[in-house]
Chain A
Amino acid sequence: MKILVLMKMVPDIVEELEVAADGRSLDREFLRLIVNERDEYALEQALVLKDRLQATVTVVAPEAPEVDDVLFTALAKGADRVVKVSGIDVTAGARATASALAATLPDIDGALPADLVLGGCQAIDDLDGFVAPLLARALGLPYLGLVSRVAIDPGGGSAQVLKEYAGGVMGRFEITLPALLGIQGCEKPPRYVPIAKVRAAMASGIIETVAATAGPAMPALAVTSMAKPEAAGHAEMLEGSARDVAAKLADILAARGLL
């Protein structure tokens, strides 16, 4: 069984985000990037399947700052192969990224055909689409998103997956392989890997670099401005020590009959 995992870098929103001088994009000078959280679950799902089956896991990610750390960490966690695709403008949007990945994957030796392609089902910067379903369409693979459990049927011709609906309801689906799944969660959180193992992967592991093949041009959206959202309202901020603030809050709760 061959599993392909797609990962991409996104802005770390724990850091303060600033608008660039053009007034319509993020200031990237001091931007810290982290791996898209849902992609980490896609990798975990792939590694869970590898633990259970005879599977090889290949991770593919567009080149971006900090992506090497992510790819070495993937190797340390148990991925068999990691590939960095250079020449994809990651700021051009999900449509452009999916188009370039779809054109490039056939040029990565042995990457396709894969039995299963996994990617995060969403990212915080997905303004013009989600990469996973767009790529599924470009590759002609059936797609299910918001998937949080995957089990391969005996024989390997299909998978059973759980897909999240609202209110804790799950849909159980059978999907013919090869297929592309947009991953929302996994049966367990992404595995921890000690830093020593990551360092060992950095010392002996290899990140293959492949130049992107141009896919059909996908025009970016006409973004005319970016700004911090104007809040309709703002909380009344309470200041002081935790103890002082707690006392004020207790007053507020008491006044509203909540105590």
Chain B
Amino acid sequence: MTANIWVAAESWKGRISDATYEALALGRELADALGGQLEAVLLGHGDQGLAASLGKADRVLYVDDPTLADATGEQASRALAALAGQRGPAVVLVPITNRSWDLLGLLPARLGAPLVNFCREAAVVGGGVETRSILYGGKMAVTVAAGSGPVVIAVLPGARSAEAGRGEAPPAVEEVALDLAADTGIRLLGYEEPEAGDVDITQQEVLIAVGRGISGEANLEVAEDLAAALGGAVCGSRPIIDQGWLPLVRQVGKSGVTVKPRLYVAAGVSGAPEHVEGMKDSELIIAVNTDAGAPIFSVAHFGVVEDATDLLEALAEAVKARKG
């Protein structure tokens, strides 16, 4: 086994994801500390051109195969495991995104390696990699002596800045041939884009985000009322989408979108990492939750321990009064 750090690069619609650059920034630190090389592994078909933008890596290992165009987790994990078997990386960093979700689920089993999930921080301590993971919806942090023998580390969005993972010069690219002919039993039939016509929440200056704490669908009206008063729109965290109260295009975070409005009001949103990744860069964040220990209060600028609906109602009244 080498001391090399791998990053499983992800591409989507012809570009490398920000999550990949974030993982490369973290990988660079680990590779330098371990005295190994940083290698980005890019899987695709006709995607050689994308390798040039992975310059933070010392080398890009590029596997081209028709089965790797829009690869599923089954195909990607087979390719990565086969390549890892030949090359022996110490650590494989996989960004936690919907795109890479199945890869990080399957790769550890194919490698016979442990996974350290939900990792926000990693460093080399005493010759091995030590990680900090966020568990229980953001309520606990866990330190793991992850070793390096080999280990798959799933990296939370925001662990590093994407900017820090972009390199200036194109890296060396090594094209690797693998035998990937086997049928996985899975066929991609196509992508379905969200229905047009709904509000694009990424374009709004003001967002009122509702979460489980809003309690009932009827209370959405209160959020709509405040959004209307402020000239914004209503969005939601996962439980609201699960209930069918808002469509998936209004979801902030993983599966949904990333937003950076001037004002983000998080009402009854607990602040699980998969939500926070989509809104943490908003200019002004106001959070209201009945749970004083809710993780949302560590990203918000102003916080209120209160029933979400009651506060939204009072705030709508106050805003309307000011506006006359």
Annotate B122-141 by CB proximity to A: 1 below 8 A, 0 otherwise. Answer: 00000000100111111111
The complex places the Cα of A19 from the Cα of B141 at a distance, in Å, of 10
Which A residues are CB-close (under 8 A) to B244? 188-189
Which B residues are CB-close (under 8 A) to A233? 298-299
Whether A249 pairs with B318 at a CB distance below 8 angstroms is yes
Residue B184 at the A interface, CB < 8 A? yes
> What is the CB-to-nearest-CB distance from A37 to chain B, in angstroms, rounded to a whole number?
8
Annotate A131-155 by CB proximity to B: 1 below 8 A, 0 otherwise. Answer: 0111011100011111000000000
Which B residues are CB-close (under 8 A) to A236? 301-303
Which A residues are CB-close (under 8 A) to B191? 165, 169-172
> What is the CB-to-nearest-CB distance from B191 to chain A, in angstroms, rounded to a whole number?
6
Binds A, one of B39-47, B103-111, B161-169: B103-111
Whether B303 pairs with A237 at a CB distance below 8 angstroms is yes
Which residue of A142, A188, A226, A250 is within 8 Å of B318 (Cβ)? A250
The complex places the Cα of A16 from the Cα of B140 at a distance, in Å, of 11
Residue A194 at the B interface, CB < 8 A? no
Whether B187 pairs with A174 at a CB distance below 8 angstroms is yes
The complex places the Cα of A179 from the Cα of B166 at a distance, in Å, of 39
Residue A128 at the B interface, CB < 8 A? yes
A interface residues, tally (CB under 8 Å)? 83
Binds B, one of A68-76, A107-115, A238-246: A238-246
Which A residues are CB-close (under 8 A) to B299? 233, 235
> What is the CB-to-nearest-CB distance from B15 to chain A, in angstroms, rounded to a whole number?
13
- Residue of A whose beta carbon sits closest to that of B134: A229
Residue B117 at the A interface, CB < 8 A? yes
Whether A134 pairs with B105 at a CB distance below 8 angstroms is yes
> What is the CB-to-nearest-CB distance from B245 to chain A, in angstroms, rounded to a whole number?
9
The complex places the Cα of A242 from the Cα of B306 at a distance, in Å, of 7
The complex places the Cα of A132 from the Cα of B247 at a distance, in Å, of 26
Report if A182-B105 is in contact (Cβ < 8 Å); known contacts: A172-B191, A232-B298, A242-B306.
Answer: yes
Annotate A239-259 by CB proximity to B: 1 below 8 A, 0 otherwise. Answer: 100110111011011101011
> What is the CB-to-nearest-CB distance from B283 to chain A, in angstroms, rounded to a whole number?
8
Whether B255 pairs with A138 at a CB distance below 8 angstroms is no
Binds B, one of A54-62, A118-126, A195-203, A206-214: A118-126
Whether B105 pairs with A234 at a CB distance below 8 angstroms is no
Report if A168-B140 is in contact (Cβ < 8 Å); known contacts: A143-B73, A145-B101.
Answer: no
- Residue of A whose beta carbon sits closest to that of B278: A166
Residue B248 at the A interface, CB < 8 A? yes
Whether B194 pairs with A167 at a CB distance below 8 angstroms is yes
> What is the CB-to-nearest-CB distance from A28 to chain B, in angstroms, rounded to a whole number?
13
Residue A22 at the B interface, CB < 8 A? no
- Residue of B whose beta carbon sits closest to that of A225: B143
- Residue of B whose beta carbon sits closest to that of A99: B109
Residue A21 at the B interface, CB < 8 A? no
Whether B257 pairs with A167 at a CB distance below 8 angstroms is yes
The complex places the Cα of A236 from the Cα of B117 at a distance, in Å, of 31
The complex places the Cα of A5 from the Cα of B282 at a distance, in Å, of 39
- Residue of A whose beta carbon sits closest to that of B193: A169
> What is the CB-to-nearest-CB distance from A151 to chain B, in angstroms, rounded to a whole number?
12
Whether A172 pairs with B322 at a CB distance below 8 angstroms is no
Whether A229 pairs with B140 at a CB distance below 8 angstroms is yes
The complex places the Cα of A179 from the Cα of B302 at a distance, in Å, of 47
Which A residues are CB-close (under 8 A) to B248? 164, 168
Which B residues are CB-close (under 8 A) to A26? 136, 140
Which B residues are CB-close (under 8 A) to A175? 185-187
Residue A217 at the B interface, CB < 8 A? no
Which A residues are CB-close (under 8 A) to B73? 133, 143-145
| B110, B114, B307 interface centre (most CB from chain A within 10 Å) | B114
Q: 22 A-B Cβ contacts within 8 A? A: A95-B114, A125-B136, A127-B117, A136-B106, A143-B74, A145-B73, A164-B255, A166-B99, A166-B254, A172-B192, A173-B188, A174-B186, A174-B189, A175-B186, A188-B244, A229-B139, A242-B311, A242-B314, A245-B306, A245-B314, A249-B302, A256-B284
Q: Which 4 A-B pairs have the closest CB atoms?
A: A133-B105, A235-B303, A231-B298, A168-B194
- With A24-B142, A170-B192, A256-B263 given, can you name 9 additional A-B contacts, CB distance below 8 Å? A17-B136, A129-B114, A168-B249, A182-B102, A224-B143, A227-B141, A229-B295, A231-B295, A243-B314
